[in-house]
Copies of this chain bind each other. A is one copy, B any other.
Amino acid sequence: MSQSNIEIVLYDLACTKNICFSPVVWRIRLMLNYKRIPYRTIFLEFPDIEPTLKELGIPPSDSGTYTVPAIHHLPTNTHIMDSARIADFLESTYPDPPLPLTSELGRKIETQSRKVVGTAFSASVLPREMGILSPRAQEYFRRTREAALGHPLEDLLDPEREEQAWAAVEGAIREVGELMLTHQAEGPFILGAKPSYTDFFIAGAMQSARTVHEDVFERLVGYPGYREVYEACAPFMQRKD
């Protein structure tokens, strides 16, 4: 695609693999790829997110923080931060093909999976994220995450503790996966024949886990529902940078 067609600049999180690995940015990237919106990526290291977005004149979130994804929509010279706000903007600006942003089933799946898959990912993905960060980003990541955790990241890498974390949520992971199969008779996506934001929420988290540690991904696709959603979304995950 020639540079002159670009409509969106996507600010993404850098890693040493030079591809997207943030689950939050993946949701937006899936939307861009699905809607075939011409974009280019700028990867930012963790410590560069705040100064870069501030310099662009983007206001912080209500909690005073700066995060990726952020986008620059070139035709209107608009800068937007926060995945929910960006999704609203993309859906209203690029309505074809449409992407339902919310549904009763989708809300239920997103809320439940934040809890249960989130617990498993905290045990398995979070401590391994260091492995794909640059030394500068590692330093930042360790400092901020350990302040929140109250202990070294390495404490999370105890194999027994990791197994316990997964075992504790296994039933709940299975239940969420079964919810994803509610409309399987009508098609491979959560709402049936066409994707919704909830598919991108789930597939984005799985793609992120896979980029950090293939074993976590393999474990998740062992439960019914997850592989179906991931494979249905795979065509929109070809482009990763």
Question: Shortest CB–CB separation between residue A206 and chain B, in angstroms?
Answer: 18
Cross-interface CB contact of A62 among B78, B83, B107, B110, cutoff 8 Å: B83
Q: How far is the CB of A11 from chain B (nearest CB, A)?
A: 12
Most buried by B among A68, A88, A89, A92: A88
Whether A59 and B85, one on each chain, are in contact in the complex, defined by CB atoms closer than 8 angstroms, is no
Q: Which residue of B lies closest to A63 (CB)?
A: B65
How long is the Cα–Cα vector from A111 to B68 in the complex, in angstroms?
19
Q: Report Cα–Cα, A35/B195, bound state, in Å.
A: 36
A82-98 interface mask toward B, CB cutoff 8 Å, 1 = contact, 0 = none? 11110011001000000
The reply to whether the CB of A24 lies closer than 8 angstroms to some CB of chain B is: yes
Interface size class of A (residues with CB under 8 A): 20 to 34
* In the complex, residue of chain B having the shortest beta-carbon distance to the beta carbon of A80: B84
**B-side contacts of A111, CB under 8 Å:** 57, 59
Does A114 have its Cβ within 8 Å of any Cβ on chain B? yes
Q: Which residues of B contact A59 (CB under 8 A)?
A: 84, 110-111, 114
CA distance A81 to B78 in the complex (A): 20
CB distance from A196 to the nearest CB of B (A): 15
Q: Is the CB of A85 within 8 A of B83?
A: no
Question: Residue A134 at the B interface, CB < 8 A?
Answer: no
Is A41's CB within 8 Å of the partner chain B? no
Q: Mark A132-165, 1 if CB is under 8 A from B, else 0.
A: 0000000000000000000000000000000000
CA–CA, A59 to B101, complex, Å?
A: 13
Separation of A69 and B61 alpha carbons in the complex (Å) = 11
Within 8 A of B (CB), among A112-126: 114
User: Measuring CB to CB, which residues of chain A are less than 8 angstroms from any residue of chain B?
Assistant: 24, 57, 59, 61-63, 65, 67-69, 78, 81-85, 88-89, 92, 102, 107, 110-111, 114
